[in-house]
Amino acid sequence: MKTIKTSVLIPTGLHAGPARHFIQEAKKFPCLVKIRFRGREFDAKSMIGILGAGIAYGDMVEIVCTGEHEEDACSALAEFLCSTHGA
- Annotated catalytic residues are 15
Going by the DSSP 8-state scheme, the letter that residue 13 receives in this structure is -
Q: Residue 6: which residues within 8 A CB-CB, separation 6 or more?
A: 60, 61, 62, 63, 78, 81, 82
